[in-house]
Structure 1
Amino acid sequence: MKVTVRESDTFFYYSQLFDIPLALILASNRELDAEQLQPEQQVSIPGYVKHAVKIGPGDSLWRIATQRQLPLDALLLMNPKLDPYHLNAGDSVSIPIRMTKSIIKGNQAYDYQTMIKDINRLSAVYPFIRQQTVGQSVLGKKIPEIQIGQGQKQLHINGAFHAREWITTPVIMTFLNDYLLSLTNRRTLRGLSMAPFYETTTLSIVPMVNVDGVDLVIHGADAAEERKADVLKMNGGQSDFSQWKANIHGVDLNDQFPAGWDIEQQRREQSPGPADYPGAHPLSEPEAKAIAELTKQRDFERVIAFHTQGEEFYWGFEKKEPPEAENIATEFARVSGYKPIQYVDSYAGYKDWFINEWRKPGFTVELGREKNPVPLSQFAEIYQKALGIFLANFYM
């Protein structure tokens, strides 16, 4: 929501008027001079949307403000051209509506366009988040990254490395929305105030790594566009792509990283297909390369890659994980009920590479249970268990 600056208005005044933390308002208006607002400038108020209501016979701004429990000056600010003493029945008044419910509807088939639409909606309501494109897929789709927070502690999470594991994306997006709601409504998540984490932490999120593959699983071969014939051939002529893990090239993106890649290459599939082909060489695929470049550019303290399924997580690699990784793993297990596994006979994954290169904590979290793709009927349970890990990631 935007309001028009009046003479002598300040960001601090807007913070008090709309009960929004000053840091969020400042971050939502990075392009403006925080020390000297100019009349007629437009200021974004995060966490609010505008709503138009019709003026009834005998209505006044005072009555509308009282009925809706709004500060009168908020109505005056939002309706600068309205004469408060001469309202005409049938005219419209803009009122501020605080967002208190989630925009994200995670319990649905969650494809690339749904994610992009939701990111744009969140950015419009919560402009203190930042987004950028970190790379492009084989089919040229932009891979978005979202950043939130102002702290020096850099954390990274991602989802949907594997196409059939797309449920990880709405889980991540639901948490992001809950985090935003907690900040703008000054409410806790599981008893934790989130404002201190916003100030101390910068969270990087890539909700969907394998953007082409997710659309292939959800929409079928037509989603592969000019590569439709290729994916049908790799899938044995079958139109059911529900078990597809790879990208559109038929490469497993979580077998693409230079951390024992040669070991995986020798024992995995030797040609492109729905699953388990590590590619011709490490980081051959644009999606894996995009995540690798992002990681190299940032000083991430910790990374978490969300996968499915098994209700467990992996936290070691060739004894190169730092000592503090065990404490973090213990807490992740406590708050989620998931089983911590230090070592597994697997190489070339994103968390393997992160641990190998930086000797910092990295985690692969397997959400849900039974089989892939995990059914949407598990979504609510998955989210509640994952929420503990999302929150512990901040305070550990």
Structure 2
Amino acid sequence: MLPYVVQPGDTLLRIARRFHIHAAALLAANPRLSPAAPIAPGLLVFIPEQNASCYCVQPCDTVLGVAERFSLSVHALLAANPRLDPKQLVPGQLVTLPESEGCSSIVDARGEYGPAELEQDLAALEKSYPFLHVQTIGASVLGLPLYALRLGDGGRKLHINAAMHANEWITTPLLMRFVEELAAAGARGGRMADLDVRQALGEVTLWVVPLVNPDGVKLAQEGLQPDHPLYHELLQWNHGSRRFRRWKANARGVDLNDQFPAFWEEEVKRRAADGPGRRDYPGPAPLSEPEARALVDLTAAERFDMAIALHTQGQEIYWNYRGYEPPESEGLARAFGLASGYKSVKLTGSDAGYKDWFIYEYRKPGFTVELGSGVNPLALDCFEDVYDELKPMLMRAIRYLAGQ
């Protein structure tokens, strides 16, 4: 067995993914590990042996090309070759090929997906698809970058955001999987859900903010570590527990989806939260949090024609807001429901969410989609099923804006 020292940010699933093994094998080799508890940095764990072979890099090889050739994920290839420069392969060098699991995509959802995974995948996607543009639109409370992706150059604009609530982080890899699949279809001039992607991206520009709440996601995935700059405050707000699996808020204990200036004062009364906590605290004022401000600034600059906020769970689509929604919203929600199997719901008694503000401010179609069913955080075992529900819904939105 290979000894490995747990690093900051490691989890059971992240270690398993890095070494291209199943989490059950890692647990069997380390019986003191718990699948539900954070793993302390510095702990020595043992990695079961895996079958591997070598490949000699050829001229013009890229990391993505080698991964695709041998049905590997980019994550697995880089994990097996920690000294490999992903931006420049040298002809003649030997790389280790771990045992294939049949995954050749960049986005790998076999483990927790947070800010580190997102940043690595954004770099790989930009390199693989030069027409996909990534930019920083702001920073979180703790200074982590907030990224936006732009795909297409059409006059009609669709915005999708994910992971506004920390324990709903599965929405990030789901959305990133969609972006990668859409970019790949556009690159090869192919079709997706019977839609000519290259033609559609000439009519529609897709703007994606895949991870609105990076600080909260790190807490939800990794728990609270002693070196956290807000350690004592967060410990108090979380009732003394260092486990943050159920945490929805950002690093200041503010629920970001209660932050938007759409009858915010009504939401404050409804929530009646007495201060920061894991959920439902709207903050001291609308847009007090940098994550919410960044989303508002991007929306104001781009004037999207439609906005979709991805959450979990419930298999429902919310489409209205206090009668400010345009007439087509209800029909679009029904169409999305037919595509996904979800229920279209006319929601009451909710204010200050991103969808609410978008409809109130711009009178354009805005939607909150509650993906999957179960208990948050949704288990990664349901990823493929939820993606099969999400993909046709988003394609239906693109088709509508493209006029097809």
Same-fold call, TM cutoff 0.5: yes
3-state secondary structure, aligned to 1:130: strand
Partners of 1:108 and 1:183 in 2: CA distance: 27
Match of 1:287 among 280, 283, 291: 291
Give the partner amino acid of 1:261: W
Kindly state the Cα deviation for residue 191 of structure 1 after the two structures are TM-superposed. Answer: 2.2
Give the letter aligned to residue 349 of structure 1. G
Post-superposition offset of 1:224: 7.4
Once residues 308 and 365 of structure 2 are traced to their aligned partners in structure 1, the CA distance between those partners, rounded to angstroms, is 9
Query: How big is the shift at 1:173?
Result: 0.3
Partner of 2:201: 198
1:248 and 1:255, CA in 2 relative to 1: closer, same or farther beyond 3 A? same
- The corresponding residue for 1:46 is none
Q: Note the aligned Cα RMSD (angstroms).
A: 1.8
Which residue among 120, 125, 129 is the counterpart of 2:128? Answer: 125
Match of 2:79 in 1: none
Match of 2:186 in 1: 183
* Deviation of 1:119 (Å): 0.6
In the alignment, residue 324 of structure 2 is paired with which amino acid? K
Amino acid at match of 2:297: E
Residues 267 and 350 in structure 2, CA contact (< 8 A), matched pair in contact too:
yes
1:107 deviates by 3.3
**What is the alpha-carbon distance in structure 1 between the residues aligned to residue 57 and residue 324 of structure 2?**
58
CA distance in 1, matches of 2:166, 2:142: 14
Relative distance call for 1:387 and 1:299 in structure 2 (3 A) is: same
One-letter code aligned to 1:264: E
1:301 Cα deviation after fit: 0.1
- Name the residue aligned to 1:105: 108
What amino acid sits opposite 2:310 in the alignment?
F
Question: What is the match of residue 358 of structure 1?
Answer: 362
1:304-323 equivalences in 2 (<5 Å): 304-323=308-327
In structure 2, relative to structure 1, the CA distance for the partners of 1:369 and 1:349 (3 Å cut) is same
* Residue 267 (structure 2) aligned to one of 261, 264, 267: 264
Of residues 372, 383, 386, the one that matches 1:382 is 386
In 2, the alpha carbon distance for the partners of 1:299 and 1:305 equals 16
Q: Is 1:171 aligned to 2:170, yes or no?
A: no
Offset of 1:131 from its aligned partner? Answer: 1.1
Task: Indicate how the Cα distance of structure 1 residues 53 and 214 shifts in structure 2: closer, same or farther if over 3 A, else same.
Answer: same
Please tell me whether the aligned partners of residues 264 and 346 of structure 1 are also in contact (alpha carbons under 8 angstroms): yes
Which of 342, 355, 379 is residue 338 of structure 1 equivalent to? Answer: 342
Q: CA deviation at 1:327?
A: 2.0
Pair 1:229-2:232 in alignment: yes
Distance (whole Å) between structure 1 residues aligned to residue 266 and residue 252 of structure 2:
21
Kindly provide the amino acid, as one letter, of the partner of residue 137 in structure 2. V
**Residues 143 and 387 (structure 1 numbering): CA distance in 2 closer, same or farther, change over 3 Å?**
same
Paired AA for residue 156 in structure 1? H
Q: Offset of 1:125 from its aligned partner?
A: 1.0
For residue 373 of structure 2, the aligned residue among 359, 369, 375 is 369
Matched, 1:277 2:281: yes
Q: Could you tell me which residue of structure 2 aligns to residue 45 of structure 1?
A: none
1:255 aligns with 2:258: yes
How far did 1:390 drift? 1.2
Q: Distance in 2 between matches of 1:253 and 1:308?
A: 15
Could you tell which deviates more after superposition, 340-349 or 134-143? 340-349
Tell me if structure 2 keeps the 8 A contact 1:263–1:347.
Answer: yes
Contact 1:138/1:212 (<8 A) preserved: yes
Alpha carbons of 1:191 and 1:154: their partners in 2 closer, same or farther (altered >3 Å)?
same
1:301 has 2:293 as partner:
no
Structure 1 spans left out of the alignment, 5+ residues: 1-50, 55-67, 69-90, 94-99
Give the TM-score of the pair, scaled to structure 2: 0.73
List per-residue Cα deviations over 1:120-151 (Å, max 9, x = no partner).
Answer: 11011111111111111000011000001010
Question: Could you say which residue in structure 1 is the equivalent of 2:45?
Answer: none
| Contact in 2 for aligned 1:216/1:223 (Cα 8 Å) | no
1:53 aligns with 2:58: yes
Residue type at the aligned position of 1:374? L
User: Can you list the C-alpha shifts for 1:43-73, whole angstroms capped at 9, x where unaligned?
Assistant: xxxxxxxx9438xxxxxxxxxxxxx9xxxxx
Structure 1 stretches of at least 4 aligned residues deviating more than 6 Å after TM superposition: none
Q: In the alignment, which residue of structure 2 is the partner of 1:38?
A: none
Give the deviation of 1:223 after TM superposition: 8.5
* Partner Cα separation in structure 2 for residue 106 and residue 384 of structure 1: 14
**CA shift for structure 1 position 225:** 2.0
2:217 maps to a residue whose letter is V
The one of 113, 118, 121 aligned to 1:115: 118
The one-letter code sitting in structure 2 at the alignment partner of 1:314 is: Y
| Aligned-partner Cα distance in 2 for 1:215–1:294 | 24
In structure 1, the residue corresponding to 2:348 is in which secondary structure? Answer: coil
Tell me, in whole angstroms, the C-alpha distance in 2 between the residues paired with 1:347 and 1:182: 38
Q: What is the TM-score when the length of structure 1 is the normalising length?
A: 0.74
Residue identity (%): 42
Aligned mates of 2:108, 2:242 — CA distance in 1: 27
1:233/1:320 Cα in 2 relative to 1: closer, same or farther (>3 Å)? same
Deviation (angstroms), 1:101: 4.2
Partner of 1:222, secondary structure, is coil
8 Å CA contact 2:190–2:198 kept in 1: the answer is no
Q: Gaps spanning 5+ residues in structure 2: where?
A: 1-55, 60-68, 70-90, 94-102
Aligned residues of 1:354 and 1:362 also touching (Cα < 8 A): yes
Counterparts of 1:394 and 1:339, CA distance in 2: 20
Change (3 A) 1:310 1:223: farther
1:148-163 equivalence runs, <5 A: 148-163=151-166
